[in-house]
Amino acid sequence: MTTGDKSPTTVPFLYDRSGNRYDVTDPRWRGDDGTPLALSPLRGITPDRIVTSERSLWRYQAAIPVDPKHRVSLGEGCTPMVPLTWDGRRVHFKLEWFNPTMSFKDRGVSVMISHLAGQGTRRVLEDSSGNGGASVAAYSAAAGIQARIIVPESTSAAKIVQSRAHGAQIELVGGTREQVSSEAIRQSEWITYASHNWHPFFLQGIKTVAYEIWEDLGFAAPDNVVLVAGAGSNILGCDIAFGELLDAGRIEHRPRLLVGQPEHWATIADAVNDLAPTTRRERVPTIAEGASIADPPRAPEAVQAIRRSGGAAVAVSEEAIRAAVRRLASRGLYAEPTSCVAIAALDHFIADGTIGADETTVVVLTGAGAKSSEKMASVFDQDTHR
């Protein structure tokens, strides 16, 4: 199996970077070679197979390789796409905080937990101090699965109250975010690792954001999709779904994926721009904390996906992110700073002419401002003290 082999298979399978194949029922979360797993190409969806009476991402059930009888749904997906005039251009804002735990991660977690429930999984493990942990905790509760969430010791109690509320076991681990991940990988020897960064079925849920964009544009692809990247799952979800739609002849072209990252965490953008990682300064904290992933497991695939789309990536400054939060709020939309990295990227790609005046552009806003009240306050306090 090479990534160039794009024919959909009747029976989907998993494969790693070395080309090793595994059955989809294999409980593994990475390949024998230690690399992330991907699902073999699927056929995607056609308009007539959409269950239009279903007000969740499960309207695309036909394109989700999970047995519907194990489906664990809390109403995720089917988020609105709000058109605004932005710098004289018509831009569509896809509001992903319209989700059960108020971030885009619910799409992936719903499909991943449904898959795991279908495998008879009773306990899952996740490492996250933010949106991922809350989402895995919520869906595990809905599925009757015991969740264990490993979080950095420094995490404030306020950030994990939702995970605890859903009955998850919280384990505090000292050290960096990377040491927390290492501990999770160690424990994955005996508990199923339901990692939003690693599990291949997570992306099968994330991809539905692209189906929705396509459906809401009257079954057409936009010219551009603007995204923030931490681990890059929205890049990969779009790559999978628009790839399926293209292969099936449902769209004419892939939309360009235009990606923003905080300047000190530009793991994917630097590679796209052929910058040596050393040209970046050390990993200092960013207000876009959801995008501060030092070592995204799927970074090479994300870089390939951006290039395949004819897209681009940019590293944006903290000041540009703060300005983006303020600018978006002045239009009535209250998105967390992480999401607003996409707004900073939008402004950048309009200013440099990448986004043309007559193009159709969609910006994905991944999470809610109200979930990051302290960070939002810091942006606006700064404003009032000027």
Site residues (vs a copy of itself, CB under 8 A): 52-53, 55-56, 73-76, 78-82, 95, 97-102, 134, 138-143, 157-158, 161-162, 164-167, 216, 218, 325-326, 329-334, 368-371, 373-374, 376-377, 379-380, 384
At 368, give phi and psi (nearest 5°). -85, 135
Residue 313 CA, chain-centre distance (Å), reads 16
Nearer to a copy of itself, 75 or 300 (CB): 75
Element (H or E) spanning 351, and its range? helix 337-351
Record the tokens describing residue 166, joined without a space.
């859903």
Separation between Cα atoms, residue 278 and residue 369, nearest integer Å: 33
Min dist. Cβ of residue 54 to a copy of itself (A)? 9
Nearer to a copy of itself, 73 or 128 (CB): 73
How far are the Cα atoms of 105, 173, 186, 289 from residue 148, in angstroms, in the given order?
17, 12, 13, 22
Q: How many residues does the chain have?
A: 386
Min dist. Cβ of residue 198 to a copy of itself (A)? 22
Nearer to a copy of itself, 218 or 249 (CB): 218
Min dist. Cβ of residue 225 to a copy of itself (A)? 18
Nearer to a copy of itself, 286 or 372 (CB): 372
CB 376 within 8 A of CB 339: no
Instruction: Give me the sign of the Cα torsion angle 173, 174, 180, 185.
Output: negative
At 359, give phi and psi (nearest 5°). -85, 155
Min dist. Cβ of residue 177 to a copy of itself (A)? 22
Min dist. Cβ of residue 22 to a copy of itself (A)? 29
Separation between Cα atoms, residue 258 and residue 269, nearest integer Å: 10
Nearer to a copy of itself, 102 or 149 (CB): 102
* Residue among 204, 174, 188 at smallest CA distance from 124: 188
Record the tokens describing residue 319, joined without a space.
């000041």
Nearer to a copy of itself, 94 or 177 (CB): 94
CB 208 within 8 A of CB 77: yes
Min dist. Cβ of residue 312 to a copy of itself (A)? 27
Nearer to a copy of itself, 80 or 356 (CB): 80
Min dist. Cβ of residue 156 to a copy of itself (A)? 10
